[in-house]
Amino acid sequence: MLLRERPDARFIFHGRQENLAPLLEEFSELKPVSEIRHSETVITMEDKPSQALRKGKGNSSMWAAIQSVKDGEAQVAISGGNTGALMAMATFCLRPMPGISRPAIAAIWPTLRSDIVVLDVGATIGADADQLVDFSILGAALARALFDMKSPTIGLLNVGVEEAKGNEWVKDAGKILSETSGAGFTYHGFVEGDDIGKGTVDVVVTEGFTGNIALKTAEGTARQVATYVRNALAMNWLTKLGALLASQGLRAIRSKMDPRTVNGGVFLGLNGVVIKSHGGTDEIGYKSALSLAYDMARNQLIDKIGDGISRLKPGEVPDVETVSETPST
């Protein structure tokens, strides 16, 4: 449980009182540091973003969670619900930060070197050069907050590393980042798809269509490889014996490839932090999302984004409040 590792965390649960109260009664440690706020309206997975706004603005559990961030009652909102509805409500309620044209969804990505940040993985389909630069600011700020880096390296995802390759907006973004490298990040240059898994850079930047495909492909490949390994080790008594002898190493591999350990897409670029958890995950996945939320609040992510904007766009400094010392979700 997160509370055992982060005893100063506090929680506000938004939803139907009759459903949440019995669940909270089962956890004696959690109950004293938690509050339930009743919301009768629930956004379903079938609701389109526009429908969700009309249906749930002001009175749904999803809206209430986001509103608690806006009001300063919580530092991060976490939801396992409808992604499109969550993004629409978060953008409408919290608004993009000054200097940021569109929000992005960032994923924490395990690699051969260490965890890295990849964005956008689905918020903005298609992006011009300025938006890719904005995503770079956001990704660098997240890397500084989570990985304690002073100047994370940034790479633009492209079809090749040569400067002449790629769409014009990717090449234009590369030129801008080259000229501003050192303002809270170090621009590495173009990176290719295989550089993501290698961990060539600390932050990989792309637009939402490509990023979402890359994310889903990686998740599917991890499950495919895990199935191959499991089937191969169960072929006969000899492979089963080998699996028993290598059990410790296999557990380490399984843990590294488990998507639950990096659960949580971070909505970046808004005047507040929202995390989208996989709706079908279990307690391990939600603990990962909560840990991510805690670390972002503790390390003052919004302030770091504001610092990045002020360095690259001096005339557009966000007016945001400093995160409090006790993160709550």
Q: Are 39 and 65 in contact (CB under 8 A)?
A: no
80-95, pLDDT tens digit by residue?
A: 889 889 999 999 999 9
User: Which amino acid belongs to residue 149?
Assistant: M
Q: Are 43 and 82 in contact (CB under 8 A)?
A: yes
106-129, pLDDT tens digit by residue?
A: 999 988 888 999 999 988 888 999
Dihedral of CA 26/27/32/33: which sign?
negative
**Confidence check: pLDDT of 65 > 70:** yes
**Confidence check: pLDDT of 237 > 90:** no
**Confidence check: pLDDT of 316 > 60:** no
Q: How far is CA 68 from CA 14, 52, 190, 265, 272, in A?
A: 10, 18, 39, 19, 10
Dihedral of CA 240/241/242/247: which sign?
positive
Contacts of 58 (CB under 8 A, 6+ apart): none
CA distance 40 to 169: 45
**Confidence check: pLDDT of 296 > 70:** yes
* Count of C-beta atoms within a 10 Å radius of residue 217: 11
CA distance 108 to 182: 23
- Between residues 1 and 228, which one has the greater pLDDT? 228
pLDDT at 58: 82
pLDDT at 64: 94
**Confidence check: pLDDT of 308 > 90:** no
Q: Nearest to residue 306, comparing CAs of 143, 98, 11, 122?
A: 98
Q: How confident is the model at residue 1 (pLDDT cuts 50, 70, 90)?
A: low
pLDDT at 262: 73
pLDDT at 205: 97
Q: Rounded to 5 degrees, what are φ and ψ at 171?
A: -65, -40
Q: Average pLDDT, whole number, for the chain?
A: 85
29-47, pLDDT tens digit by residue?
A: 888 899 999 998 989 899 8
pLDDT at 18: 93
Q: What is the mean pLDDT of residues 292-302?
A: 85
- 70, two tokens: 């806006």
| Cα distance from N-terminal residue to C-terminal residue, the chain | 14
**Which superfamily does 100-313 belong to?**
Isopropylmalate Dehydrogenase (3.40.718.10)
pLDDT at 257: 65
Any idea what DSSP says for residue 113?
S
Where exactly are the structural domains of the chain?
1-94, 100-313
180-199, pLDDT tens digit by residue?
A: 888 789 999 999 999 999 99
pLDDT at 195: 95
